[in-house]
């Protein structure tokens, strides 16, 4: 018996990749993780964003630095209507969590990259923030199937990335990895002037079917304004 989990390839903002020669995929972040069933799922209730002592410390540090935290991104993403926005209204959140990491550039500086992730039966959705100094403009030249967009008055780029599949052999205790399906991602400037940094919203499906761009854009329209510190374009 085996079980397959899809996860996005890890990487910082595309501008950081080009300059720091880091990983090849945009700001999807997150890396390898195993999604486990929790008490909320066992009770057939939507999962909530877990907050422990480490999360509380990360929240306090982010507030002191005037940044958003992973828990705040998870909370903005884990809406009651998220399944409806994804066109899967019968589903609910199975897991929901935030994390507060950073990416080290070639110059050894640390770029904060908090993120929140929500997994449903069909889709996994990730919302992240990168505090680099690079604009969105020109990013489409670095990404696959990229096209420029404007989201809520902010410059944005819609693009594709490849996930990788993790196959767990539950009987043999081994795991194999290989290419998975397509993730669709939207990188959005934090302000209308595109002064540097980005938010990224990414979705991918557990069955490796190409995600629905319309669903991604619906989620973006509703979720992004709920992020603490989001700047409304005038």
pLDDT of residue 4: 43
The answer to whether residue 44 scores a pLDDT higher than 90 is no
Q: Where are the domains of the chain?
A: 2-226
DSSP string, 123-163: EEEEEEEE--S--STTGGGGSEEEEEEEETTEEEEEEEEEE
Global pTM reads 0.79
Distance CA 41, CA 120 (A): 10
Helices 70-77, 53-64: crossing angle, 10 deg rounding: 100
Specify the higher pLDDT residue, 104 or 49: 49
CB half-sphere exposure, 55, CA atoms < 13 A:
15
At residue 218, φ and ψ (nearest 5 deg) are -65, -45
User: pLDDT tens digits, residue range 67-100?
Assistant: 999 999 999 999 999 999 999 999 999 999 999 9
Return the minimum-mean-pLDDT range out of 14-28, 63-77, 114-128.
14-28
Q: Which of 49, 70, 74, 51 is nearest to 61 (CA)?
A: 70
Average confidence score pLDDT of the chain: 79
pLDDT of residue 14: 54
State how far Cα 146 lies from the chain centre.
17
The answer to whether residue 27 scores a pLDDT higher than 50 is no
Question: Strands 123-130, 198-205: parallel, antiparallel or unpaired by DSSP?
Answer: antiparallel
**Residues 2-19: what's their mean pLDDT?**
47
Residue keyed to tokens 């964003």: 49
The answer to whether residue 191 scores a pLDDT higher than 50 is yes
């Amino acid at each position: 018996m085996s079980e397959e989990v899809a996860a996005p390839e890890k990487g910082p903002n595309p501008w950081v990749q080009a300059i720091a020669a880091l990983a090849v995929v945009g700001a999807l972040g997150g890396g390898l993780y195993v999604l486990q069933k929790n008490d909320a799922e066992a009770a057939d209730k939507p999962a909530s964003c877990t907050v422990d002592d480490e999360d509380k410390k990360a929240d306090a540090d982010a507030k002191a630095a005037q940044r958003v935290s992973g828990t705040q991104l998870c909370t903005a993403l884990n809406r009651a209507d998220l399944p409806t926005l994804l066109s899967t209204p019968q589903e609910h959140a199975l897991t929901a969590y935030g994390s507060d990491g950073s990416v080290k550039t070639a110059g050894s500086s640390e770029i904060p990259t908090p993120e929140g992730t929500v997994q449903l039966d069909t889709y996994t959705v990730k919302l992240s923030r990168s505090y680099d100094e690079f604009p969105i403009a020109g990013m489409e030249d670095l990404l696959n199937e990229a096209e420029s967009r404007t989201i809520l008055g902010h410059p944005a780029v819609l693009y594709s990335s490849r996930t990788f599949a993790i196959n767990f052999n539950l009987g043999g205790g081994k795991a194999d990895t290989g290419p998975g399906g397509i993730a669709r991602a939207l990188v959005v400037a934090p302000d209308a002037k595109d002064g540097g940094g980005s938010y990224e919203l990414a979705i991918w499906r557990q069955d490796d079917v190409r995600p629905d761009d319309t669903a991604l854009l619906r989620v973006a329209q509703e979720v992004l304004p709920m992020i603490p510190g989001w700047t409304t374009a005038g």
